[in-house]
């Protein structure tokens, strides 16, 4: 082979290798992968001074960043109300939703979900001296939930009256201030609120609350993006990355 041909062959081989390593091609929105979230849900997403993506940090944010990088894209975050996420996804304002979102049958009617990456359950946060020991004990109590969360769906299905707040912190403040008796919310987030606020405890009731699986949502039928996301998540589950992130951020927020 002549020298020039050799150099070209080498260059071509390197490009091919780079493509294999970074999964070239098929990038969405010019190499940017925009995730919608509601950064009010520690340890999965919260706002901090130096996050993994801009000011956003948490387990989901680290997963989003890695998914984008594994597919040779850059992750961007659009922070919005939890209730607006699926609409924004359907409008094409965002490419995917990563928000500690439980893959429910109801949501599956409008979006497609990735391979699940985290198992959670609803729990009850109560004052330390509360007599609530099971979900049925909420019957005559004042219940707080967060609007649009699966916790609201559960309490609604149980037939109990409740008050819904826009943010988890608002619901927990009602409890701290003695204006409500119990907050129903996802387990890891509950843990964070209990470690942040004196005098609260968690009550579990596995017979009343089914386990839930968090997954990333994409537009219905967007199989190209879904396959990329699934491949990346499966790699992060297999090599222990998701687990490491869960441990890291649970400890970080428990400080
Ligand atoms: N897992 C709950 C849900 O999907 C809460 C998610 C969240 O607040 N980010 O409704």
Task: Express each pLDDT in 9-43 by its tens digit.
Answer: 555 555 555 544 444 434 445 599 999 999 999 99
- The pair of structure tokens assigned to 75 is 């992750």
Tens-place pLDDT, residues 128-155:
999 999 999 999 999 999 999 999 999 9
Q: How many Å lie between the centroid of ligand 1 and the Cα of residue 37?
A: 10
CA atoms of 83 and 191, how far apart (whole Å): 23
**Is the shortest distance between the CB of 118 and ligand 1 below 6 Å?**
no
Query: What six digits make up the tokens of 98?
Result: 């990563």
pLDDT over threshold 70, residue 255: no
Residue 46 and residue 60: Cα distance in Å, rounded?
10
pLDDT band for position 69 (cuts 50, 70, 90): very high
Contacts of 82 (CB under 8 A, 6+ apart): 38, 40, 41, 99, 146, 147, 148, 149
CA distance 255 to 243: 19
What is the reported pTM?
0.85
Residues β-bridged to residue 77: 35
Cα–Cα distance between 116 and 166 in angstroms, integer?
25
Q: Which residue's structure tokens are 């919608």?
A: 36
pLDDT of 23: 42
Mean of all residue pLDDT scores within the chain? 91
| pLDDT value of position 25 | 39
Assess contact for 74 and 86: CB atoms under 8 A.
no
Helix extents (H) in 71-133: 85-91, 105-108
Cα(16)–Cα(7) distance, integer angstroms: 14
Closest C-alpha to 78, from 233, 70, 186, 87 = 87
**Under a CB-based contact definition with an 8 Å cutoff, are residues 234 and 137 in contact?**
no
Residue in 27, 117, 10 with CA at minimum distance from that of residue 63: 117
What mean pLDDT do residues 64-92 have? Answer: 97
d(CA 167, CA 147): 8
User: How many Å lie between the centroid of ligand 1 and the Cα of residue 88?
Assistant: 16
Closest CA to 74 of 98, 52, 100: 52
So what's the pLDDT on residue 109? Answer: 97
CB 229 within 8 A of CB 154: no
Give yes or no for residue 210 having a pLDDT over 90: yes
Q: How far is ligand 1, taken at its centre, from the CA of residue 102, in Å?
A: 6
Mutational pocket test of ligand 1: of 150, 157, 164, 217, the residue with most ligand atoms within 8 Å of the beta carbon: 150
Q: Which residue has the tokens 């699926």?
A: 86
Closest CA to 149 of 186, 119, 176: 186
Higher pLDDT, 23 or 45: 45
CA of 150 to the centre of ligand 1 (A): 6
CA distance 146 to 152: 6
């Amino acid at each position: 082979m002549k020298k020039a041909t050799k150099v070209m062959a080498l260059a071509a081989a390197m490009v091919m290798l780079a493509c294999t390593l970074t999964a070239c091609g098929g990038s969405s929105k010019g190499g940017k992968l925009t995730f919608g979230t509601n950064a009010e849900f520690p340890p999965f997403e919260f706002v901090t001074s130096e996050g993994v993506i801009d000011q956003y940090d948490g387990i989901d944010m680290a997963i989003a960043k890695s998914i984008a990088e594994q597919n040779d894209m850059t992750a961007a975050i659009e922070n919005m109300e939890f209730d607006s996420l699926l609409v924004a996804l359907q409008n094409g304002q965002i490419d995917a939703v990563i928000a500690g979102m439980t893959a429910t049958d109801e949501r599956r009617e409008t979006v497609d979900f990735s391979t699940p990456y985290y198992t959670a359950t609803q729990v009850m946060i109560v004052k330390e001296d509360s007599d609530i020991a099971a979900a049925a004990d909420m019957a005559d109590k004042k219940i707080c939930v967060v609007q649009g969360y699966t916790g609201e769906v559960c309490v609604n299905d149980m037939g109990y009256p409740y008050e819904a707040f826009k943010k988890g912190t608002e619901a927990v403040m009602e409890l701290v201030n003695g204006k409500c008796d119990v907050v129903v919310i996802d387990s890891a987030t509950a843990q964070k609120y209990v470690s942040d606020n004196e005098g609260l405890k968690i009550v579990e009731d596995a017979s009343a609350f089914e386990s839930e699986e968090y997954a990333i949502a994409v537009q219905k039928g967007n199989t190209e993006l879904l396959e990329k996301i699934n491949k990346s998540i499966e790699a992060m589950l297999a090599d222990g990355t998701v687990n490491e992130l869960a441990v890291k951020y649970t400890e970080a927020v428990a400080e």
